[in-house]
Amino acid sequence: MSQSSPDISFEHLNPSQKLELITQLWDSLPNSTESIPIPEWHRQELEQRLIVADAAPGDAILWEQVRNRLRDNS
């Protein structure tokens, strides 16, 4: 199901324009997950990660902590 991408140059866009383009592309994606094929290996990886997470719920890090660490490192 691989389609070739159009040959588009983005060098002329500034960062703000590129982010706007990303937003427009993201918003154009269908809201239904049924319309986007998910490779079987993605499903298997997710299942394995859920098993690991369920086995040690205390090892989880809250999103707020992750975000704060990322902000502190930048």
- Per-residue pLDDT tens digits for 4-56: 778 889 999 999 999 999 999 998 887 777 778 889 999 999 999 999 999 99
What single-letter DSSP state applies at residue 15?
H
Enumerate helices (H) and strands (E) in the chain, giving the number of each. Answer: 3, 0
Number of C-beta neighbours around residue 21 at 10 A: 13
Work out the average pLDDT over 70-74: 87
29 with 36: CB under 8 angstroms? yes
pLDDT at 36: 80
Determine whether 8 is exposed, middle or buried from the number of CB atoms within 10 Å of its CB (0-12, 13-18, 19+): exposed
pLDDT at 48: 97
pLDDT at 11: 92
pTM: 0.47
